[in-house]
Amino acid sequence: MVVMSKDKVKVEIYEGDPFTGCCGPGIASMAAIERTRKMLMERNETVKALKEEFKEQIEIERDVVSARRRYDTYPPHIYKLLLARTRVPSILMNGQLVSEGAFPSLEDFKRLIKEHAKSLHQEVSSQ
């Protein structure tokens, strides 16, 4: 069960382990390492920008899905998604899967957050 504040959109980001099979000794090229570094920096900047813009409206949790970790150690709703072979990155808002298989752009994240914030406020005002 997802517990969230009634006035905030809970954003859950479950990403794949960027180092699985990529960065062992002699396996990765410098170009592959640089691509991974750039991808991680871009994702961090996106999350940072979201936290700044929506600081009073969202709560963000991030976690890495790793083959080295047992699936049943994730929250129950994520465990079910993993068993269903949901692709990572998996993005959930208020417990609802909104994106899988690709990390949304900053603009896509903003749109999704605004949609979920709007529906959250409609739910609260109708109660």
Residue with the larger pLDDT of the pair 68 and 78: 78
- In this prediction the pTM is 0.83
For residue 41, what are its two tokens?
């920096």
Please give the pLDDT value at position 21: 57
Query: For 74-102, how does the pLDDT look when each residue is reduced to its tens digit (9 = 90+)?
Result: 999 999 999 999 999 999 999 999 999 99
Q: What residues pair up with 92 in beta bridges, in sequence order?
A: 12, 97
At 36, the pLDDT band (50, 70, 90 cuts) reads confident
For residue 55, what are its two tokens?
């600081």
CA 6 to chain centre: 20
Q: Is the pLDDT of residue 22 over 60?
A: no
Q: Check: CB of residue 13 under 8 Å from CB of residue 91.
A: yes
The 3-state DSSP class for residue 78 equals helix
The DSSP code for 28 is S
Instruction: State the helix-helix crossing angle for 106-125 and 30-53, rounded to 10 degrees.
Output: 30
Residues 6+ apart with CB under 8 A from 54: 9, 113, 117
Q: Is the pLDDT of residue 18 over 70?
A: yes
Parallel, antiparallel, or unpaired for β 9-16 and 96-100?
unpaired
